Amino acid sequence: MAQAERLVPVRSRRMAESVIEQLVNLIRQGNLHPGDRLPSERELAQKLRVSRVVVREALMYMQQAGIVHTRHGSGTYVSGGFGDDRTACADSAAQDRLTWLFEFRLGVEGEAAALAARRASGTELKQLAQALERLQSEVAGGRLGVEADFDFHVAIARASGNPYLVSSLTNVTDLLMRSVTVSRVRSLAVPGRPETVLAEHQAIYNGIAAGNGEAARHAMREHLQAALGRLLAQGE
């Protein structure tokens, strides 16, 4: 297909993320439109020089984010409403799982942010700032920034000085990474959204760096509630 000629080989450890970034950019640039069928998994794997497993993982996240949908026996298509706030997660069971996960995160990460504001050492604040700078760089480059986002949240838990808060997050690392990835994919598809999410992270950092536990807790809870709302948003 002609669209596939615009793709370039992936040479990154973040292979699935790189596949997502390229496909989302093709859609944002108008090379693929709502209703268009994507190249097959085999064709994408060949053009991007990755395995079909990597392509399948990338498409899974894009489907969970509401960017594409699969028609059995036909292929994968760009969903209608790309770039707006239409439903990103239509399956009720998936909505329940997301809601439960974010309810857990609100309690754990909200308190972690408040404690980090009171207890973070100079080294931990530096690590948190570095994670935020990496996220800023990823957003500026039009990339997903999943690892930087994840590292930012984990750094806050560590800075809380409470090992139980850290272990609570690490026990759900896989679920957490998946929720962060779907959230980042969804944000990448909506113009201006990555910058909004970045501002939310900046507010969390500002509260912690200022030693203001209430501000840090509030900023974290606002961010997580907004993230869940964006994932479950219903279009008109």
68 phi, psi to nearest 5 deg = -130, 165
Q: Please list the residue range(s) of the chain that carry CATH number 1.20.120.530.
A: 92-231
The ranges of the chain annotated as CATH 1.10.10.10 are 2-78
> How far lies 187's CA from each of 12, 141, 192, 198, 216, in Å?
21, 14, 8, 10, 23
Given a cut of 80, whether residue 2 has pLDDT beyond it is no
pLDDT tens digits, 137-163: 999 999 999 999 999 999 999 999 999
* Mean residue pLDDT across the chain: 88
Q: What is the CATH number of domain 2-78?
A: 1.10.10.10
Tens of pLDDT along 9-35? 654 457 899 999 999 999 888 899 999
Question: For position 106, what pLDDT does the model report?
Answer: 95
Whether 120 contacts 162, CB under 8 Å: no
Looking at the domain that runs over 92-231, which CATH code has it been given? 1.20.120.530
Chain-centre distance for alpha carbon 148:
10
- CA 227, CA 209: separation in Å to the nearest integer? 22
**Amino acid identity at 70:** T
Cα distances (angstroms) measured from residue 185 to each of 61, 199, 205: 7, 17, 22
Classified as helix, coil or strand, 71 is: strand
Q: Per-residue pLDDT tens for 94-141?
A: 788 889 999 999 999 999 999 999 999 999 999 999 999 999 999 999
